[in-house]
Amino acid sequence: MSSEPVVVSVPDRDYAERLGDLEGVEVVHWDMEAPHPRGPEIRLAVMPYMTRLRLADVVTGLDSLAAVQLQSAGYEQFAADVPPGVLLCNAAGVHDASTAELALTLTLASIREIPAFAAAQAKGRWEPLRLRHALADRRVLVLGYGNIGRAVASRFRPFEVTLTAVASRARPGDDLVDHVHGIDELPTLLPEHDVVVVIVPLTDAARGLVDADALARMPDGALLVNVARGPVIDTNALLAECRSGRLHAALDVTDPEPLPEDHPLWTTPGVLVTPHIGGATEAMRPRSLALIRRQAEALRDGRPLENVVVEGGAEGS
């Protein structure tokens, strides 16, 4: 441990204040819009959330830079600009609670008909009493069983549902599911599930994973929830299944995105669309702050950083 404090820049005054207690770390506020006077000393630079900054502009003159910390899980737009010897870290985990929460919100709002009741409310109309749908007793399939998939499953657990998890490969279960099924079992599992929540990463294999065949295997009245990425689902095939009234969908992500004003997804019955709001909530702030704290401590103590997604100058970067 060096006697010189590790200089960390954060893009937010509140973060700087809350990290002020870190021993052996000097936290400076830098929004990255103009060079910082302490730039040459900065070892860890935290990027603003939802930024349009280019990494190549940011790192100019940061002569001591060891790592750049993002506040998003996505890092593709920064990957090519990481200087040699610098690490790029993403914010995997920071948005899990918010995204998993939205998966439940979309599921419950769809099944319990909140959009229809909100429309009736706008007309001052008290809808007549009749037996409606519920989430309880439904068979829920979580497609993608990494950290967010588990966060989704844990939130579904107390709702008296049946839970099935599907990941790229079959493996033993955990405290939430007896068994994790492999993706090769998806075609035989789909007909047995009333709710399918998609939370796979957008790999080449995941693109178009939920295609016309997969949708056709879902039972009548089933609900498809997408909190992953739009291109995982074949939009035209989904439109056909929802237009006929056979399936319902609740989508936080779409293909294309943003959805143009005249896109048929907006007006297809049984489709609820939110504008990619999954992780963009206040819930990210304490979780991002905790990650920055751990990263600053690791750098200070000479331990490896978390969430390293690119090593600048390494093969392929």
Residues at the site binding its own copies, with contacts judged by CB under 8 A: 49-50, 97-98, 101-102, 104-105, 108-109, 112-115, 117-122, 124-137, 154-155, 157-160, 258-263, 266-267, 272-277, 280-286
134: nearest Cα among 109, 151, 115? 109
Element (H, E) at 311: strand 308-311
The least CB distance from residue 186 to its own copies, in Å, is 25
**26 classed as catalytic:** no
Element (H, E) at 288: helix 284-301
d(CA 33, CA 85): 24
In DSSP terms, 141 is beta-bridged to 164, 196
Spatial contact of 69 and 94, defined as CB atoms under 8 Å apart: no
d(CA 184, CA 50): 36
Catalytic pick from 18, 43, 181, 229? 229
Catalytic pick from 257, 297, 306, 311? 257
| Structure tokens belonging to residue 174 | 């955990």
287: nearest Cα among 29, 92, 28? 92
d(CA 153, CA 107): 12
Q: Which is nearer to its own copies, 41 or 101 (CB)?
A: 101
Q: Which is nearer to its own copies, 39 or 270 (CB)?
A: 270
Q: Which is nearer to its own copies, 125 or 303 (CB)?
A: 125
Cα–Cα distances in angstroms (integers) from residue 288 to residues 52, 73, 226, 272, in the given order: 19, 11, 24, 29
Q: Which is nearer to its own copies, 207 or 263 (CB)?
A: 263
**113 classed as catalytic:** no
SS3 244: coil
Catalytic pick from 138, 193, 276, 293? 276
The tokens 């704290």 sit on which residue? 293
d(CA 53, CA 47): 9
The least CB distance from residue 12 to its own copies, in Å, is 11
Q: Which is nearer to its own copies, 7 or 272 (CB)?
A: 272
Q: Which is nearer to its own copies, 113 or 311 (CB)?
A: 113
The least CB distance from residue 176 to its own copies, in Å, is 10
Q: How many CB atoms lie within 10 A of CB 304?
A: 8
The least CB distance from residue 1 to its own copies, in Å, is 33
The least CB distance from residue 14 to its own copies, in Å, is 12
121: DSSP letter: H
The least CB distance from residue 61 to its own copies, in Å, is 29
Element (H, E) at 98: helix 96-111
Angle at 186 between CA 183 and CA 192, to 5 degrees: 150
Catalytic residue numbers, as ranges: 229, 257, 276
